[in-house]
């Protein structure tokens, strides 16, 4: 018998028993999403596991530590069998190539430093897969991401994970209010990854000791250049390494082999002060180098902003927030100055080094764990 609206909500926020609450769990085959599916199944929810096959099944079979490929699909299926819920594999190779891989290649060739995991969440997992969950008449979709969804006065809010070392908010800033209304993140409150693995062991899951994925799923061993070379063979054309005045200092074997802020491997010796890659120009095939001071950035132009504040972004001329310009650094004090609903200029109170077009700038409340969204850094 269903509960009425005055009764206690279940753990996913619905006023009905778990058995009458259908939840689609996005299962990558890793320990995190497997634990989410097992936890919800044990609690009595109507769980449906869905795994996306995102790239070539055969080529992926030998690669451990990625997601959404051969071995991982097998692992997700075994978890579903162990816990007794249905599991489906959807072929999203073409969608993934069009929405994520091609842009990754083009962005990288344009001298940017792309973050394809954000685009995958934005354009595939939280868009197409979310629509599939609705087609399956699910009440919500759950994932194994380490981030928290909390109810505020104006509706669901996005908050950093309880475990700062596992927090994935940088990769989820583009989650829209509409998506956040439908999504659930059951692991975000856990104190540490050890708690997740303990749950996996408790449920008897075969993935309990499976290593975490470290690389971008379609970039083996973090070797961006080899992937770009396959996707865009013309990108390996040689060119010149030049200083900021255009003086040729050395030659290189492809702009794709360099990133902003790189110091080693430039092949330039005999200098009193080290040089760093400060800019990439794919059109002229120039790798531009300069002193470390040139890497320092205070003003960061943003586009494609996803704003998660209670008031419109443009309701103020300035927002004082914390921002992250890369996933590995803690938030730093900054001022957002809106230009439109989707564009702004961010002033970093303390200059950051190596800020690169193609990366994300994510907004944080300085007084709480709340995330106000973010935007994409561009050349301005």
Q: Which is the catalytic residue, given 67, 68, 117, 217?
A: 217
Q: Same structural domain for residues 271 and 355? A: no
Q: Same structural domain for residues 273 and 336? A: no
Q: What per-residue confidence (pLDDT) applies to 270?
A: 72
In the residue annotation, 120 being an active-site residue is answered as: yes
In a domain, 166, yes or no: no
Q: Same structural domain for residues 273 and 320? A: no
Burial of residue 178 (number of CB atoms within 10 Å: 0-12, 13-18, 19+): exposed
Q: Same structural domain for residues 284 and 372? A: no
Q: What per-residue confidence (pLDDT) applies to 6?
A: 55
Q: Same structural domain for residues 133 and 257? A: no
Distance of CA 190 to CAs 215, 314, 328, Å? 23, 35, 20
Q: Same structural domain for residues 198 and 282? A: no
Q: Which is the catalytic residue, given 67, 68, 120, 361?
A: 120
Distance of CA 297 to CAs 86, 241, 261, 300, 319, Å? 50, 22, 12, 7, 19
As a whole-number percent, the residues of the chain with pLDDT over 90 amount to 62
- The span from the CA of 158 to the CA of 168, in Å, is 11
Task: Summarize the confidence of residues 28-32 as an average pLDDT.
Answer: 92
- The span from the CA of 334 to the CA of 190, in Å, is 29
Q: Same structural domain for residues 74 and 194? A: yes
Q: What per-residue confidence (pLDDT) applies to 248?
A: 95
Q: Please, what is the average pLDDT of the chain? A: 89
In a domain, 243, yes or no: no
Q: Same structural domain for residues 31 and 131? A: yes
In a domain, 2, yes or no: no
Highest mean pLDDT among 115-129, 174-188, 212-226: 174-188
pLDDT band at 362 (very low <50, low <70, confident <90, very high): very high
Mutual angle of helices 224-231 and 102-109, in 10-degree steps: 100
Asked whether the predicted pLDDT for residue 112 surpasses 90, the reply is no
Q: How many domains does the chain have?
A: 3
Task: Summarize the confidence of residues 330-342 as an average pLDDT.
Answer: 97
Are the CB atoms for 295 and 353 separated by under 8 Å? yes
Q: What per-residue confidence (pLDDT) applies to 348?
A: 97
Q: What per-residue confidence (pLDDT) applies to 232?
A: 82
Count CB atoms within 10 A of the CB of residue 90: 14
Q: What per-residue confidence (pLDDT) applies to 60?
A: 40
Task: Decide which of 262, 290, 318 is a domain's last residue.
Answer: 290
Task: Let me know how many helices (H) and strands (E) the chain has, helices first.
Answer: 10, 17
Asked whether the predicted pLDDT for residue 175 surpasses 90, the reply is yes
In the residue annotation, 140 being an active-site residue is answered as: no
CATH number at residue 343: 2.40.30.10
Q: What is the pLDDT of residues 257-316, one digit of tens each?
A: 888 888 888 888 777 789 999 988 888 999 999 999 999 999 999 999 999 999 999 999
pLDDT band at 40 (very low <50, low <70, confident <90, very high): very high
CATH number at residue 64: 3.40.50.620
Q: Which residue has the higher pLDDT, 208 or 141?
A: 141
Are the CB atoms for 243 and 289 separated by under 8 Å? yes
Q: Same structural domain for residues 303 and 327? A: yes
Q: Which residue has the higher pLDDT, 78 or 219?
A: 78
* Least confident window among 80-94, 208-222, 295-309: 208-222
Task: Summarize the confidence of residues 351-375 as an average pLDDT.
Answer: 94
Asked whether the predicted pLDDT for residue 1 surpasses 80, the reply is no
In a domain, 50, yes or no: yes
In a domain, 160, yes or no: no
Q: Same structural domain for residues 26 and 84? A: yes
In a domain, 193, yes or no: yes
Q: What per-residue confidence (pLDDT) applies to 67?
A: 53
Full domain range(s) for residue 97: 18-144+186-221
In a domain, 121, yes or no: yes
* Least confident window among 43-57, 63-77, 352-366: 63-77
Which residue is it, tokens 């050349």? 379
Are the CB atoms for 24 and 142 separated by under 8 Å? yes
Task: Decide which of 240, 261, 290 is a domain's last residue.
Answer: 290
* Least confident window among 220-224, 251-255, 276-280: 220-224
pLDDT band at 215 (very low <50, low <70, confident <90, very high): low
Q: What per-residue confidence (pLDDT) applies to 2?
A: 45
Count CB atoms within 10 A of the CB of residue 299: 12
């Amino acid at each position: 018998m269903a509960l009425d609206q005055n009764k206690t909500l279940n753990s996913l926020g619905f006023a009905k028993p778990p058995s009458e609450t259908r939840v689609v769990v996005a299962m990558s085959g890793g320990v995190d999403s497997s634990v989410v599916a097992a936890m919800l199944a044990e609690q009595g929810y109507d769980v449906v596991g869905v795994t996306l096959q995102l790239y070539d099944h055969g080529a992926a079979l030998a690669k451990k530590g990625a997601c959404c490929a051969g071995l991982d699909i097998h692992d997700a299926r075994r978890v579903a069998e162990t816990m007794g819920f249905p599991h489906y594999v959807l072929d999203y190779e073409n969608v993934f190539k069009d929405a994520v891989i091609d842009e990754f290649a083009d962005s990288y060739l344009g001298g940017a430093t792309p973050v394809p995991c954000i685009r995958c969440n934005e354009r595939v997992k939280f868009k197409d897969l979310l629509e599939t969950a609705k087609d399956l008449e699910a009440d919500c979709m759950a994932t194994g991401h380490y981030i928290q969804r909390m109810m505020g006065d104006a509706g669901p809010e996005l908050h950093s994970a309880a475990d700062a070392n596992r927090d994935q908010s940088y990769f989820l800033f583009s989650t829209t209010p509409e998506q956040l209304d439908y999504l659930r993140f059951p692991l975000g409150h856990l104190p540490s990854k050890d708690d997740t693995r303990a749950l996996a062991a408790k449920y008897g899951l075969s993935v309990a000791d499976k290593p975490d994925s470290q690389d971008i799923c379609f970039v083996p061993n973090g070797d961006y250049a080899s992937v770009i070379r396959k996707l865009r063979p013309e990108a390996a054309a040689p060119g010149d390494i030049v200083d900021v005045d255009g003086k040729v200092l050395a030659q290189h074997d492809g702009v794709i082999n360099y990133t902003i802020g790189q110091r080693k491997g430039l092949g330039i010796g005999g200098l009193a002060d080290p040089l760093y890659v400060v800019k990439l120009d794919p059109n002229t095939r120039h790798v531009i180098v300069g002193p470390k001071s040139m890497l320092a950035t205070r003003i960061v132009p943003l586009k494609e902003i996803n704003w998660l504040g209670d008031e419109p972004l443009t309701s103020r001329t300035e927002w004082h927030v914390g921002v992250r310009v890369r996933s590995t650094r803690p938030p730093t004090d900054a001022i957002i100055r809106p230009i439109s609903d989707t564009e702004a200029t961010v002033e970093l109170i303390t200059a950051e080094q190596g800020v690169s077009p193609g990366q994300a700038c994510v907004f944080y409340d300085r007084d709480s764990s709340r995330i106000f969204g973010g935007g994409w850094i561009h050349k301005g």
